[in-house]
A = this chain, B = another copy of it.
């Protein structure tokens, strides 16, 4: 019978959707004995999973609960097949992105500060904020207290499954969409990354949702930030190193742009880092994917892959194919 190692921290009720006819083996980083398993679902906390690995014997297939699998190949080596949980983060990350955009356009940081002060009349600070950040000198009447998403131009940098989910959630706001990705496409129009600098000045909102790799690291540097419009919003729902942190701190401190980050570089962001206190910035501590739906959704992806493995069908989300031990 196939033996499946799963994180001992996951409650039994979440394992219902796994195929019948397998033996479930709880795996913990505190085990004092070796265990023999065929397939391993590692703990989503990489440190815990890496501590458990030396006790595992016979692993042929790793099914990650996450989209990112950075630590796995170096730990398990080349003779193991690795699949990620493609799709498990789409909804939660896209929802975080919508939240970040709307919260910034509606000046929630200012209003939560006003709420804490208990002074209703401070709402007029919003008008001054609008004039300053957008550099819109037109007298508005009544006073502007927040901005609209409807009708804005959004540049998606990255157009995988999560990027497309973000576009779907933006649809009711009739935004003008611009798209950039590694692979250019005709329908809908997706521009190659080489056109990023040309498109940046057109967008009021720039959303980063692309994988971290040697091509994307540092993609948003001093030059790209300088090409963004006055008051434009940079949203990083991807990985911290895609943005040059020093350049971002400078752009924020000068009042040129706004930003919302669920990821940072370095991460965790250490106490006292200048990014924490930049103006016009929302930081959430890498929480975009962590909802109550994550565990069941992620395990459904794993269960589907496991079923294919047991039936000898091709796997869907292979990020590393095993190299034969005895070729």
Give chain B residues whose Cβ lies under 8 Å from the Cβ of A143: 290
Q: How far is the CA of A254 from the CA of B272 in the complex (A)?
A: 36
- Nearest CB in chain B to that of A138: its residue: B11
Known: A148-B92, A173-B169. A285 touches B114 (CB 8 A): yes
Q: A148-B91, A282-B115 in contact; A123/B287 too (CB < 8 A)?
A: yes
Query: Given A120-B285, A172-B171, do A145 and B290 touch, yes or no (CB 8 Å)?
Result: yes
State whether B109 touches A112 (Cβ < 8 A): yes
Partner of A148, one of B95, B107, B136, B145: B95
Contact B106 A146 (CB under 8 A): no
Binary per-residue interface labels of chain A (283-310) against chain B in the complex, 1 for a CB within 8 Å, 0 otherwise: 1111100111111000000000000000
CB distance from A315 to the nearest CB of B (A): 24
A36 within 8 A of B: no
Counting chain A residues whose Cβ lies within 8 A of the other chain, the interface size class is 35 or more
Assess the B292–A118 pair: CB atoms within 8 A: no
Smallest CB–CB gap between A144 and chain B, Å?
A: 5
A327 within 8 A of B: no
Complex interface: chain B residues within 8 A of A9 (CB)? 139, 141
Q: Which of A122, A283, A290, A293 has the most CB of B within 10 A?
A: A290
Tell me the smallest distance from the CB of A270 to a CB of chain B, in Å. 8
Q: For the complex, what is the distance from the CA of A294 to the CA of B127, rounded to whole Å?
A: 13
- Is A95 a contact of B91 with CB atoms below 8 Å? no
Cα A229 to Cα B79 in complex, Å, equals: 51
From A96-104, A153-161, A194-202, the one touching the partner chain is A96-104
Contact status B269-A120, CB under 8 Å? yes
* CA–CA, A115 and B269, complex, Å: 10
Measured CB to CB, the nearest residue on chain B to A284 is: B111
Tell me whether B148 and A285 are in contact (CB under 8 A): no
Question: Smallest CB–CB gap between A275 and chain B, Å?
Answer: 9
On whether the beta carbons of A95 and B102 are closer than 8 Å, the reply is yes
A99: chain B residues at CB < 8 Å are: 99, 102-103, 105-106, 108
Contact A120 B268 (CB under 8 A): yes
Among all A-B residue pairs, the 10 with the closest Cβ atoms: A145-B287, A145-B290, A120-B268, A99-B102, A123-B285, A118-B276, A44-B142, A111-B284, A169-B172, A99-B106
